[in-house]
Amino acid sequence: MQTLTPQVFWAQRHGEIYLRVEISDAKNLDISVQENTLRFRGQGHGAKGENEYEFSLEFLNPVKPEIKHKSTQRQVNITVRKQKHCWWDRLSMQEKKPVFLAPDFDRWLDESDAEMELRQKEEKINKISIESRIPKDPYLGLKKGYLFMYNLVQFLGFSWIFVNMTVRLFILGEDSFYDTFHTIADVMYFCQMLAIAEVINPALGLVKTALMPSFIQVMGRNFILFVIFGSLEDMQNKPVVFFVFYLWSATEIFRYPFYMLACIDTEWKTLTWLRYTIWIPLYPLGVLAEAVAIIQSMSIFNDTKFLSIPLPEVLGSSLSFSYVLHLYLLLLFLGLFSNFRHLYKQRRRRFRMKKRKAN
Ligand SMILES: CCCCCCCCCCCCC[C@@H](O)CC(=O)SCCNC(=O)CCNC(=O)[C@H](O)C(C)(C)COP(=O)(O)OP(=O)(O)OC[C@H]1O[C@@H](n2cnc3c(N)ncnc32)[C@H](O)[C@@H]1OP(=O)(O)O
């Protein structure tokens, strides 16, 4: 049996050298690293048939003496670890490349690609370690179930309102404006009372929403519903009720199903787009309709003295609630500005996240 030199292919990463020795069914392998030189000896089937094969390779830079090797039916794979984490210009000490050595294009990466591969590996490891450090919430299923049911009930409630108002608008035309409150108020009361949960949910950490925007939203609407419409009979047959209720429900028939899908980790792109876009025209229109309702109610509060604040005699008999409403009008526009900014940020965050995922 002759002793021949096998064909060897190599590739590197920042921390390792990979060698592929082209001998199949290798046996009696003797592979070691001494004085930074790898010595290989073994029998097997190579380019020139069954033979004894050997080679030695002095590395350009220091490597760790312990090596890993694995013999397969087709080749012998050797992994050598570099002493220092760095990129080598070439593999062997001698400047001229040994004839038996060639790049392993199956594993070959240039330095920047190898860096990227390393970064991706590190990110993956970090993610796994962060995930394993965060304790699993034992009530997650219960929380999701509760949120799903909450969103479902709200969705059904607001859908009923929206569909009912739309059908009545088609059938009765303008006439439907005047008795919106009497047909819709009970369900709206129910939905808006239930919506108080939207302030409680973030406070309990059940959803990742900022507390303030939810508070502004829920309290702002409930003020209009219970104080302006609910307590003033003269407001209840005004067309403005139709516009306020229609604008609220038109938003919610997209928002709640979006949350329902989020509870079951599902996304429907069109719905996501609608949830984060429809508020752009509807929010200012909603606030405008609410402002009209407040302005219309002022004269009723003045005439009826309902909710007026008693004053000491020297200052007059009482202070009309309409003064409070002037202040509320200011709050309404501040609330609009604050929530508009919040929703704009949420929209950008959502669509930026989606773009990043797509890349
Ligand atoms: C008497 C005292 C009064 C004091 C207040 C005075 C100020 C008055 C100003 C009032 C202005 C209000 C006017 C308003 O009434 C007019 C209208 O409504 S007009 C109609 C148009 N309106 C809208 O479009 C607003 C709709 N409302 C909202 O969008 C929300 O209520 C709001 C809080 C404003 C924003 O929502 P949020 O911060 O929750 O954003 P996200 O939807 O992106 O959610 C964040 C993450 O939390 C998850 N989440 C939230 N809720 C749920 C839920 N119920 N179930 C499951 N998951 C939920 C959501 O999935 C997000 O998670 P991720 O980031 O992982 O996707």
Residues 205, 327, single domain; the answer is yes
Asked if 211 contacts 203 with a C-beta cutoff of 8 angstroms, the reply is yes
Return the structure tokens found at 116: 């990227």
Please name the residue that has the structure tokens 């047909």: 183
Relative to the CA of 286, which ligand 1 atom is closest?
A: 19
Return the structure tokens found at 134: 């965060």
Task: Give the pLDDT score at 78.
Answer: 95
Residue nearest to atom 10 of ligand 1 (CA): 220
More confident site: 50 or 150: 150
Query: Residues 203-259: pLDDT tens digits?
Result: 998 998 889 999 999 999 999 999 999 999 999 999 999 999 999 999 999 999 999
- CA pair distance 226, 127, nearest whole angstrom: 48
Look up residue 114 and give its DSSP letter. Answer: H
Return the structure tokens found at 342: 């919040």
Strand ranges inside 200-359, DSSP E: 309-310, 318-319
Q: Residue 223: CB within 6 Å of ligand 1?
A: yes
Query: Residues 39-60: pLDDT tens digits?
Result: 999 999 987 888 999 999 999 9
Range of the domain at 21: 8-110
> Looking only at Cα atoms, what is the longest distance across the chain?
124
Query: Residues 283-314: pLDDT tens digits?
Result: 999 999 999 999 999 999 999 989 988 887 77
Residues 101, 186, single domain; the answer is no
Asked if 8 contacts 21 with a C-beta cutoff of 8 angstroms, the reply is yes
How many separate domains does the chain show? 2
Residues 279, 233, single domain; the answer is yes
- CA pair distance 169, 239, nearest whole angstrom: 12
Share of the chain above pLDDT 70, in %: 98
Task: Provide the whole-model pTM.
Answer: 0.69
Residues 95, 226, single domain; the answer is no
Residues 105, 222, single domain; the answer is no
Mean local confidence (pLDDT), 61-67: 93
- CA pair distance 57, 73, nearest whole angstrom: 24
Write the CATH number for 69.
2.60.40.790
- How many Å separate Cα 337 from the centre of its chain? 25
Determine the distance separating the centroid of ligand 1 and the alpha carbon of 135, expressed in angstroms.
Answer: 28
Residue 127 in domain? no
Task: Give the pLDDT score at 46.
Answer: 84
pLDDT band at 354 (very low <50, low <70, confident <90, very high): low
Return the structure tokens found at 71: 């013999």
Residues 72, 182, single domain; the answer is no
